[in-house]
Structure formats: structure tokens, C-alpha cells
């Protein structure tokens, strides 16, 4: 069975992704590491612990970086609620977080099982960058990293060009891109349309068990945000899409090898990930720019959503 570590800034869409991984029974999640992003580190950790509890799982949660490498923390509480989980009083975990730092846990785990560990990152990659900077040779023994990062081939959701996870800590994402670790990026561009929950999906899930209801309830403020943004009651779940891509290769319909560059200097483009799939003839093409990531361009939206809903409805 595949061995995973999930790194998360647990907001409401992260919670759905965690439930999917813990409920599908198809991978062994060894541990969860948390990072500041959607909310502060302490809230992200509590939210992860609560989601593990709702899933009926028993696995450790390791707190990591409380801020980006160089910048002040930017959160998304306006989207996910002040607690990151809909502000409905859902968060009361019984389990306590581990004392070991997330970066040390990641390195120890990879060192103990070289070539076996996959990382799924659904928040800013500060913990991953710190691990790379601390022990680059150890991190090159990671089997694969699946990262919800960037806008893919579309527009940003935080600035016109930047997606939230990268925007929070673009310097860390630049470190990841240059680390030589096999990397698949799943951007926000594949998370809308039929991939998003609509009112019928949410009504169906609210009639399910505790996990399915929790998944909908914790996304209440995200649904309200989307209603103001586009006039529709929908819940887009970039982290759950990224988790599904990592779980089920057959839902990916198009994913070219690309040369990616993360902008970290000028503020108007800070956090943009420039994606070159080499499909266009350019006047100037750098011959020494090899592909450093696979970037998902298209998924089977309905197959993804049907499988997600089935897993959630099958949980207690």
C-alpha cells in the first residue's frame, strides 16, 4: 500500500481532502503535518485533529511552520471563517498534537523508508522547503510530491496571476521547484465547473453520516463567499481535487510535463507560477530549461465528484 504524509493548512476544503484520504482505504496515511496558511498554525492543527477525529482515524498530527520563510502570514479567514471551518463551533478535538516538529518528522520518515514516501501538500509548502533546505539529499529520496499549487493554465484566485497556497509563501514554492523531486501540480483551474459541489451535492451529503455532514457544514462560509463572488451556491474544493488526482491516476485526462518558474521578486506578480508546456513555438526558447513538474490540465470532473461523494457517504 502506498505510504503518504499529508501537509495541510487545514481550512474547510483541506478538511474534505483529509476525509477523502482517510476514508477511501486505498493509501496508508502515516501522519499529518500542519502549516500556517488558511489560518494560523494553532488553528490549522486543531482543525486537522478534529477532522481526523470525525474520520474515526488514529494517526499523529505534527505542527510545523507558523509563518512563511520571509514574509508576514496572509490568511484566508474571509473565505473559510475565522476558525477556518465555517465558524459553527465544530472544532473540539480530543487528541493532542505531537511535540516533534513537522520538518523533523518528514525527514525522519523519508530517511527510514527511502523511495517509498509520497507527500501530498494542500497548503503553503513552507514545511517542505525547510526540509529541503535542511537535508536536500534526504528529500530527494521522496517518491513523489502531489501539490495543490498555482493557477495551472488559468488565472489566480488571490491576485490576477497568483493562487493562494503559492502566494502565501512563493519563496518556499521556488525551493520545491528547484529540488529535483518528482512533482505533480494541481492548480485551481481544474477545480470549478462540474468539479465543484452544487446545491444538490450538498443536500445529498447532509443526509449522510457525521463525516459527510461535517464536510458540508465546515464549508458554509466558503459557500457564502462563492455566492457573493459569482451568484451561485457552490463549493469549489481545490484540495480535494488534488487529493483525488493523487489517489486515482485515471481521473487525470491531460497532464503535460512542464517547465515552471515561481515569481518571488516584483509584488504585482508575486506568487505567479509561470507554466511552459513547450507546446508553442517561442521566439526565444531556453535550451537548458528542462521540465520540473507535471501540471494537470484536465480531469474527469464527474468521475472525481462521484467518487468523492461516495467515499464521504460511506463513512460513519
* Residue 288: count of CB within 10 angstroms of its CB: 4
Q: Which of 7, 9, 13, 201 is catalytic?
A: 9
Give the whole-angstrom CA distance, residue 244 versus residue 303.
10
**In the annotation, is 9 catalytic?**
yes
- Specify whether the CB–CB gap between 32 and 18 falls below 8 A: yes
**Residues noted as catalytic:** 9
Amino acid at each position: 500500500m502506498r505510504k503518504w504524509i499529508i501537509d495541510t493548512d487545514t481550512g474547510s476544503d483541506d478538511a474534505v481532502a483529509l476525509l477523502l484520504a482517510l476514508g477511501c482505504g486505498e493509501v496508508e496515511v502515516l501522519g499529518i503535518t500542519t502549516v500556517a496558511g488558511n489560518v494560523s498554525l494553532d488553528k490549522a492543527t486543531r482543525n486537522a485533529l478534529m477532522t481526523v477525529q470525525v474520520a474515526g482515524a488514529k494517526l499523529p498530527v505534527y505542527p510545523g511552520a507558523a509563518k512563511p520563510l520571509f514574509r508576514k502570514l496572509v490568511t484566508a479567514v474571509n473565505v473559510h471563517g475565522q476558525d477556518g471551518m465555517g465558524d459553527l463551533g465544530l472544532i473540539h478535538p480530543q487528541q493532542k498534537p505531537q511535540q516533534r516538529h513537522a520538518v523533523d518528522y518528514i525527514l525522519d520518515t523519508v530517511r527510514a523508508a527511502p523511495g517509498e514516501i509520497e507527500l501530498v501538500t494542500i497548503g503553503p509548502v513552507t514545511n517542505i522547503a525547510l526540509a529541503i533546505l535542511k537535508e536536500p539529499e534526504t528529500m530527494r529520496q521522496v517518491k513523489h510530491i502531489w501539490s495543490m499549487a498555482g493557477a495551472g493554465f488559468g488565472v489566480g484566485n488571490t491576485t490576477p496571476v497568483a493562487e493562494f497556497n503559492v502566494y502565501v509563501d512563493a519563496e518556499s514554492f521556488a525551493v520545491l521547484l528547484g529540488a529535483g523531486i518528482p512533482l505533480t501540480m494541481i492548480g485551481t483551474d481544474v477545480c470549478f465547473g462540474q468539479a465543484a459541489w452544487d446545491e444538490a451535492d450538498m443536500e445529498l451529503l447532509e443526509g449522510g453520516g457525521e463525516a459527510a455532514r461535517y464536510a458540508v457544514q465546515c464549508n458554509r462560509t466558503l459557500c457564502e463567499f462563492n455566492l457573493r463572488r459569482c451568484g451561485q451556491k457552490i463549493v469549489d474544493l481545490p484540495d480535494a481535487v488534488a487529493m483525488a488526482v493523487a489517489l486515482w491516476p485515471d481521473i487525470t485526462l491531460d497532464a503535460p510535463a512542464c517547465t515552471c518558474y515561481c515569481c518571488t521578486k516584483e509584488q504585482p506578480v508575486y506568487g505567479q507560477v509561470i507554466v511552459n508546456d513547450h507546446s508553442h513555438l517561442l521566439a526565444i526558447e531556453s535550451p537548458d530549461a528542462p521540465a520540473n513538474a507535471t501540471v494537470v490540465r484536465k480531469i474527469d470532473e464527474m468521475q472525481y465528484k462521484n467518487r468523492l461523494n461516495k467515499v464521504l457517504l460511506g463513512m460513519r
